[in-house]
Amino acid sequence: MSFSYVARRVGFFLFVVWLAATVIFVIVHLAPGDPISYQVGRMAAQGQGVQDGALLIAQYKKQFGLDQSLLHQYFAYMDQLAHGNLGYSITNFPTKTTLLVGQALPWTLGLLLTTIVISFVIGSLLGGLMAWRTTPRFVRSLLPGLMAFAAVPYYIVALGLLYVFAYRTQLLPANGARGVLNDSTGLAAIPDILRHSILPALSIIVAVIGFWMLGTRSTMISVLGSDYLLLAEAKGLSETRIFMRYAMRTALVPQITVLAVWIGGVLSGAILVETIFAYPGLGELLVTSINGRDYPVIEAVGLAIVVSTAGALLVLDLLFPLLDPRVRYERNS
């Protein structure tokens, strides 16, 4: 892996991040309304008759630099970003944006990472099995059912699960990340957290498993006739070993690249799942900050999403030659 390759990839990553930050900044500032007017309106909604509302708004705008030209604000924002400073939330001044994002991020990441890992592992395993010669029939018969689930959008699956497990019966909690009366912390909190994450995770997993199954099944089929598998069998290796270490390893490589590209879609999907299950993650933070036009927070969350997506691609691009030796040798030759 040459230095110029790494430099180009990292440069591309930075370019994408900069572009996304600019696009989000422009969109957010062009929208009608601003965080100050929102606050003032909220005061009015609570019955606080605001005298001289316009004057009050003008004063606060000055304090936060919102009265300057868009270009001026943009350069100030870029300067801030370059120093790694994500600024203060306007609606929740003097809270730092990083604090707000930091509170929400673990929930989203936790939910997403576990669902991605579980659905990828189980889905790929099952997919590989579907193509393997000696898989018993009853396992193969799972295929059409799980495929059908792949077709149905995950939020419909979520509604169905909610109806069955949370309303009809009370096996699982319908919303929230922690039980209301449960104030355990640290390791003791894990069972409670897990319990509340089962339904949201299950909705995503059930809907997504079929997708990985089909993909790995196809790649496995293209691997099946390979010579090295024949050699392994001739050497007398156990079937499990051949399956896991020889066949699956090769079959998984292209799937991992699909995973990287796919992460952006999953992040977006998390927004909807978090709304349905009232999970206090990035999705909820995004929706609240949009309603309040809290520019710094919207920009921070948007940036977090893009950085994760682009970052995943970057990481995989840099690791790819390690995964697939053909690429490594091709480049060096």
Partner 1 sequence: MNATAETASAVASAAGLGLQSPRSNSRGRLGLGLACGVLLALGPLVASWIARPFVSHHQVLLFAYDVTLRPSSAHLLGTDGQGRDVVATLVYGITPTLEIGLLAGVIGVIIGTVVGVVAGYMGGSVDAIIRTFSDVMLCIPAFALLVIIAALFGTLSVTWLGIAIALLSWPLPARAIRSQILSLREQNFVVMSKLSNRSGLSIMFLEILPNMLPYVMATFVGLVSFGLLTAIGLELLGLGPIGVVDLGSMIQSALTYGALSQGLWWWWAPPAILLVCLFLGLFFLSLTVDRISNPRLAGGRG
Partner 2 sequence: MQRRKRVRLGPAMTALAVVAAITSAVVAATVANARTGTSAPRSRTLIIGQFRPPTGYIANPYLGASDSFVSDGLHQLVYEPLFYDNAETGKEEPWLATGFSYDKSYTHLTIQLRKGVKWNDGVALTSKDAVYTMNQILSTHPTPWRSGNMQASVASVRAKGPYAFVLTLKAPNPRFVYTDLSTYIYTSNFQVLPWHIFHTQKFTTFANFDLKKGWPIGTGPYRVTSATQTAVTLTRNDNWWALKTGFSHAPAPKQVVFTGPGPEDTAVANLEHNTLDYAGEIVPTVAGFITAQKANPKLINWSGQLGWDDPCPFSLTFNTLHKPWDDPQMRWALNYALNKSQFSSLFNSPGPASPAVTTFPAYDPFNALLKQNADLLKRYPTIKYSPQTTAQILQSKGYKQSNGKWIGPDGQPLAVTVNIFNAAALGPTWQNADNLVQQNLEQAGFTVNMQPGDFNAIIAARPSYSGGTANWDLQSWFECGSLTDPWATFNRYTGAPGNDNAGQWNNAQYNAIVKQMGQVAPGDKRIAAQFRKALSILLGELPVIALNQRPTPVVFNTTYWTGWPTAKNPWHVPAPWWQDFHQVVLGLKPAKG
For residue 167, give Cα distances in angstroms to 11, 74, 85, 170, 270: 50, 48, 45, 6, 22
Q: Which is nearer to partner 1, 101 or 305 (CB)?
A: 305
Nearer to partner 2 (CB atom), residue 281 or residue 313:
281
Residue 220: which of 136, 133, 145, 314 has the closest Cα? Answer: 133
Q: Smallest distance from the beta carbon of 239 to partner 2, in angstroms? A: 5
| DSSP notation for 76-102 | HHHHHHHTT---B-STTTTSBHHHHHH
Angle at 189 between CA 184 and CA 193, to 5 degrees: 130
Residue 255, binding choice from partner 2, partner 1, none, Cβ under 5 to 8 Å by partner class: partner 1
Residue 59 C-alpha from the chain's centroid: 39
Residue 40: name its binding partner from partner 2, partner 1, none (Cβ under 5 to 8 Å by kind).
partner 2
CB of 277 to partner 2, least distance (A): 9
Name the residue with tokens 């576990």: 114
Taking the least distance from each CB to partner 1, the nearer of 93 and 155 is 155
Report how far residue 208's alpha carbon sits from residue 116's, in angstroms, rounded to the nearest whole number: 9
Q: Smallest distance, Å, CB 68 to partner 2?
A: 16
- Comparing CB distances to partner 1, the nearer of 189 and 221 is 221
Q: How far is the CB of 272 from partner 2 (least distance, A)?
A: 13
> Residue 60's binding partner, choosing from partner 1, partner 2, none, with beta-carbon cut-off 5 to 8 A by kind?
partner 2
Q: Tell me how far the alpha carbon of residue 251 is from its chain's centroid.
A: 24
Question: How big is the chain, counted in residues?
Answer: 333
Task: Kindly state the smallest distance separating residue 219's Cβ from partner 2, in Å.
Answer: 16
Partner whose binding site includes residue 244, from partner 2, partner 1, none (CB under 5 to 8 Å by kind): partner 2
Question: If contact means CB under 5 to 8 A according to the sort of partner, which of partner 1, partner 2, none does residue 46 touch?
Answer: partner 2
Which CB atom, from 254 or from 280, has the smaller least distance to partner 1? 254
Question: How many CB atoms are located within 10 Å of the residue 237 CB?
Answer: 15
